[in-house]
Homo-oligomer: A and B are copies of this chain.
Amino acid sequence: MNVLFLGTGAGVPSKQRNVSSVALELLSERGAVWLFDCGEGTQHQILHTTLKPGKIEKIFITHLHGDHIFGLPGLLGSRSFQGAGDPLTIYGPKGLADFIKAALACSKTHLRYPIHVVEGEGGMVFEDEQFRVEALLLEHGLPSYGYRVVEKDKPGTLMASELKAAGVKPGPDYQKLKEGGTVFLEDGTMIKGSDYIGPPKKGKIIAIAGDTRSCPALEELAENADLLIHEATFAQEDRELAYEYYHSTTEEAALLAKKSHVKQLVLTHISARYQGEQIGRLLEEACRIFQNTRIAEDLLRIEIEGLTEEE
């Protein structure tokens, strides 16, 4: 499981930072990539990575501001042009489907794969046997959602070498033991599956806040997350601006990370007003409160040790 930052700037693109998009690469987990937001130029950023647009299975949109959605029509069209056939589902606030429809219709873009647009008002937006994704309403002056991606726990693996030592031969017995059953050896010894199954493996939790003011819903979003991706549009000294424009500061994000017991915090959606050394100071502000903080930059990739890799 990798998190790949495609755009880490705020509002308008700059030479250093494109507008918002982050990819959650779930290649070993499900051979797929999930995108969160899709600002203009996201497909251009992807050209500089190994990410294949055809692998994008889901796109989650936090809110409808242009810097989070204007890259959608182009990405959808290019994905089709490149021959992708797998369906794509796009989740986001009410109004998203109209935008996509208008852009595709006007430009006579005929996609060669099915798309589904799921507009919602928060809550559980997706669940299967591997993952569930919850959307939590934050505060940004218009509906803006944070997404909490929860990988489900996996039962422990069978301790194969211990079983072999005990005299159990690989085959149907293994499957039985794996399911918690009991088998008997030729000498009558009873072997209980529960004695030979490792501890269950905790799934990972990735919390991705959209643009937002500091608000109570963020705690539910971030609780115990392995990685919290949070906007820090402003430095702490500009907290009045942050509040006025429905954004957050470095310290607000760090306090949330601490309070919610997250393992790692990555700050993104950095205003272009901060350059060079000032970026270091943003990091300092956050680290004073929550040590394990990083500032995202475009094309930064963070590995999250996942269930699948551990096996």
**A→B interface (CB under 8 Å):** 11-15, 18-19, 40-41, 43-44, 47-48, 64-67, 69-71, 73-74, 77-78, 81-82, 95-96, 98-99, 102-103, 106-109, 142
B107 near A98 (CB under 8 angstroms)? Answer: no
CB-nearest residue of chain B to A97? B106
Chain B nearest CB: distance from A11 CB in Å?
6
B106 near A47 (CB under 8 angstroms)? Answer: no
Q: How far is the CA of A78 from the CA of B106 in the complex (A)?
A: 22
The residues of B that contact A14 with a CB separation of less than 8 Å are 47
B98 near A66 (CB under 8 angstroms)? Answer: no
CB-nearest residue of chain B to A68? B107
Q: How far is the CA of A53 from the CA of B43 in the complex (A)?
A: 23
B108 near A74 (CB under 8 angstroms)? Answer: no
Determine which of B15, B78, B96, B98 lies in contact with A12 in the assembled complex, contact meaning CB atoms within 8 Å.
Answer: B78
The residues of B that contact A41 with a CB separation of less than 8 Å are 40-41, 44
A64 near B12 (CB under 8 angstroms)? Answer: no
Q: How far is the CA of A95 from the CA of B108 in the complex (A)?
A: 11
CB-nearest residue of chain B to A107? B66
A98 near B106 (CB under 8 angstroms)? Answer: yes
How many chain copies does the complex carry?
2
| Residue among A43, A106, A107 having the largest count of chain B Cβ atoms under 10 Å | A106
A99 near B106 (CB under 8 angstroms)? Answer: yes
A70 near B73 (CB under 8 angstroms)? Answer: yes
A71 near B15 (CB under 8 angstroms)? Answer: no
| Residue among A13, A66, A71, A99 having the largest count of chain B Cβ atoms under 10 Å | A66
CB-nearest residue of chain B to A48? B15
Can you list 28 contacts pairing A with B, beta carbon distance less than 8 Å? Answer: A11-B81, A12-B77, A12-B82, A13-B47, A13-B78, A14-B47, A40-B41, A40-B44, A40-B70, A40-B73, A41-B44, A44-B44, A64-B106, A64-B108, A65-B108, A65-B109, A66-B73, A66-B103, A66-B109, A67-B77, A69-B106, A70-B70, A70-B73, A70-B107, A95-B106, A99-B106, A102-B106, A103-B103
The residues of B that contact A82 with a CB separation of less than 8 Å are 12
B99 near A40 (CB under 8 angstroms)? Answer: no
Chain B nearest CB: distance from A201 CB in Å?
40
Q: How far is the CA of A232 from the CA of B238 in the complex (A)?
A: 51
